[in-house]
Chain A
Amino acid sequence: MVESVIEVSNLKKTYGEIKALKGISFEVKKREVFTFIGPNGAGKTTTLEIIEGLRKKDSGKVRVFGEDVEKGISKIRPKIGVQLQHGALYERLTVKEILSLFASFYKKRVNIDSILERVALKELAHKWTETLSGGQLQRLRIAATLVNDPELLFLDEPTTGLDPQSRRYIWSMIEDLRKEGKTILLTTHYMEEAEKLANRVAIIDGGKILAMGTSEDLITKCGGEAVMYVRAIDKKKDSKKSEEKEYRINLKNSGFEAPQTLQDFTEKGMEVKYVEIKTPGLEDVFINLTGKELRD
């Protein structure tokens, strides 16, 4: 059996009147990339910050590396790396100084130059962090979580607000980290990110986990049917009046019936101009589960 790095059961948290977490339970296994997807205010960051020891829970159990978070946080901290959703770095230190400062807080340290190379900031090593672009700064923030060679990484929306190129670069960094055997707890509101990086996904909304599993499982269970869009002209009618019409067909049998459906069109005397089959993704899983679009 694979060892659990994080175990959370029936976690609850309220802020005044607002119930932020209404009983959340999940486990993250060693070497797994576990991803939380959900809109703003769903409870992703609250969950992460309780696990990181930054917030106190109201009730429930939270264990990391088998240690209770509230009692054993000092044993946990040396082995984790945390990239918070918000938060700047010291603006008047250079890129290299930032990493060297954070490394100094740990007994176990990684060579700073090797980190700089891995996050492609070697050229900027001697620049003050206040001169970095958004993408560069985000790479540095992730780099700062790697100085102690952590076993467990928390990445809270690491690509939010970044341009596509920076986003892809960070994805490749996370993929490399997964290959090295790091356990990663990631939050995002980009479906593509979750589909690309996560071993398992938990869909969270309104302080509850609505569904959890591999993306494929979730799509099969909750994604709904594939849809075929066909644009065709009815040849039987008066050719002057005939015009292109769009048809939407739900494919109940995972798309295997598509060739037959197209044949039906021709047999009915219609000329098919355009065909598109849309298979469901996590986005559809999310819409089906919550009844709302994720992008906000």
Chain B
Amino acid sequence: MLVKFIIYRIKMFLRDKLALFWTIVFPLLFVFIFCGILGRSGEFKLNVALVVQDSGSIVDQLVQGLEKGEIFKLNEGLSLEEAKEGVEKGRIDAVLVIPKDFSSSLFAGGANLIVYYDKTRTQNAQIVSSVFQQLALEISKKTLGLKKFPVEVDLEGIARKRSIENASYSAFFIPGALTVALMSMGLFGVGGGIPHEREKGLLRKLATTPLKKLYYGLAFMFQSAIVALVQAIIIIGIGALIFKVSFLIKPLDLTVILIFGGVIFASLGFLIGSIAKTSKAAEGLINVFYFPMMFLSPVFFPASLLPPVIRKISTVLPSTYLVNVLRKSLIMGSSFGQIFPDLIALGIWILGTALLASFIFHWAEER
């Protein structure tokens, strides 16, 4: 009874172009607009810190060459510690160190150069070292008349400290867009769908069959949870492929979060659909929840940018818990124990809304 209803609900969803637009295309538009403008985009330049500990004409020539080349976005004047911290926080892609004894070692027959880089991105280190070697070879041919440039590059990986504050805007925003997508499905799909079915007389027809109210509600919850997984694959996938966001994906944790996320908004939608008798009334009620959840919770911008009053309001909204738990898991790779409290908060929301809806929902209304 339930399985077939869920399958048909998903079929109906997939056949409804408008529903697909609001739940998948619309959040993706957000991704393209926000990540496109505020995220890193356009020409690809590595952000490289240059730390020079040596001096001399050969060193000067190398630095000038790097400056002229404009292959990297070059940061100069940082101390080694500052530069390494930059890599840890993800602000700098690599650090190029010209050590103290560089010139002297060079003339003695072999010098060493050190490149620090984000451990997860070996390709950055390779780009930096090969660009440097290319440049150095040109200089040594011209000025020293050497055919080879006797420099070895030491690559030192640095573990990046992941935190939401240090994440790129795209990495920050994509969990927000996913939250909006789940909200649209639950509020518009379920909250708008029930009054639509009521107006069309479908609920009265269902009421004459042995179908239980509980199953009618559960079909919506399952549908939303399954659709949430699809929405996540598409939105996170586009984030990774187009906006080059590297998320830490723990499939099991993420699935649990998405099920909670799909179900909370479906449950809230079910409550709205039980209260609102007509599509028009539902529309008003949906907006009462939809826009505050979108703008009062840290979907688009971090909570620290929100005014204190709004920050307080946002701490009760389910959208806040969902977007936070998604960020914790996807950006920081938090353990299940760390995301558990957020899941509890979402669980309380689910229980509360579902319980209330089960009292309010009726198949047929007395006229």
- Give the B-binding residues of A (Cβ under 8 A): 15, 49, 52-56, 74, 77-78, 80, 82, 84, 86-90, 92-93, 97, 100-102, 104-106, 128, 144
Contact B208 A88 (CB under 8 A): no
From A49, A53, A101, A144, contact of B4 by CB (8 A): A101
Q: A92-B15, A104-B1 are in contact. List 7 more A-B contacts (CB 8 A).
A: A53-B207, A54-B207, A84-B204, A86-B201, A97-B8, A97-B11, A144-B205
Contact flag A78-B202 (CB < 8 Å), given A92-B16, A100-B4, A104-B4: no
CA distance in complex: A102, B205 (Å): 10
Question: From residue A93, how far is it (CB to closest CB) to chain B in Å?
Answer: 6
Instruction: Give 7 CB contacts A-B under 8 Å.
Output: A54-B364, A56-B366, A84-B205, A88-B200, A104-B4, A105-B206, A128-B15
Do B366 and A87 have beta carbons less than 8 Å apart? no
Q: Does B56 belong to the interface (CB within 8 Å)?
A: no
Q: How far is the CA of A104 from the CA of B4 in the complex (A)?
A: 7
Known: A93-B8, A97-B11, A105-B1. A87 touches B211 (CB 8 A): no
Please report the number of residue pairs spanning A and B whose Cβ atoms sit closer than 8 angstroms. 65
Report B-chain residues with C-beta under 8 Å of the C-beta of A93: 8, 11-12
Asked if B12 contacts A54 (CB within 8 A), the reply is no
> Smallest CB–CB gap between B220 and chain A, Å?
14
Are the CB atoms of B200 and A77 closer together than 8 Å?
Answer: no
B209 at the interface (CB under 8 A from A): yes
Query: Interface residues of B, CB < 8 Å — how many?
Result: 23
Name the residue of chain B whose CB is nearest to the CB of A88.
B200
The CA-CA distance from A74 to B208 in the complex, in Å, is 10
Q: Do the beta carbons of B201 and A88 come within 8 Å of each other? A: yes
Question: In the complex the two chains form, is A53's CB within 8 Å of B208's CB?
Answer: yes
B210 interface residue, CB < 8 Å from A? yes
- Is there contact, CB below 8 Å, between A106 and B210? yes
Residues of B309-367 at the interface with A, using a CB-CB cut-off of 8 Å, are: 363-364, 366-367
Contact bitstring B191-221, A, C-beta under 8 A = 1, else 0:
0000000001110111111110000000000
Q: Residue B200 contacts which of A55, A78, A87, A104 (CB distance < 8 angstroms)? A: A87
- A95 to nearest B CB, angstroms? 13
Closest Cβ of chain B: how far from A199's Cβ, in Å? 24
Contact across chains for B202 and A87 when beta carbons are under 8 A apart:
yes
Point out the residues of chain A lying under 8 angstroms from B11, CB to CB. Answer: 92-93, 97
- Chain B residue numbers with a CB within 8 Å of A102 are 209
For B199, give the chain A residue with the smallest CB separation.
A88
B32: CB under 8 A from chain A? Answer: no
B202 and A88: CB pair below 8 A? Answer: yes
Q: Is the CB of A77 within 8 A of B8?
A: no
Cross-chain contact of B367 among A15, A84, A144 (Cβ < 8 A)? A15
Q: How far is the CA of A100 from the CA of B1 in the complex (A)?
A: 10
CA distance A83 to B205 in the complex (A): 8
Which residues in B have their C-beta under 8 angstroms from that of A56? Answer: 366
Roughly how many angstroms separate A100 CA and B4 CA in the complex, as a whole number?
9
A82 CA to B367 CA in the complex, in Å?
Answer: 19
| Inter-chain contact B210/A78, CB cutoff 8 Å | yes
Q: Are B8 and A84 in contact (CB under 8 A)?
A: no
Q: How far is the CB of B72 from chain A (nearest CB, A)?
A: 54
Question: How far, in whole Å, are A53 and B364 apart by their CA atoms in the complex?
Answer: 10
Q: How far, in whole Å, are A100 and B367 apart by their CA atoms in the complex?
A: 31
B289 within 8 A of A: no
Shortest Cβ distance from residue A140 to the other chain B in the assembled complex, whole angstroms:
12
User: Which residue of B4, B201, B210 is within 8 Å of A77 (Cβ)?
Assistant: B210
- A90 and B205 in contact, given A55-B366, A105-B210, A106-B210 (Cβ under 8 angstroms): no
Task: Find out whether the CB atom of B367 lies under 8 angstroms from the CB atom of A87.
Answer: no
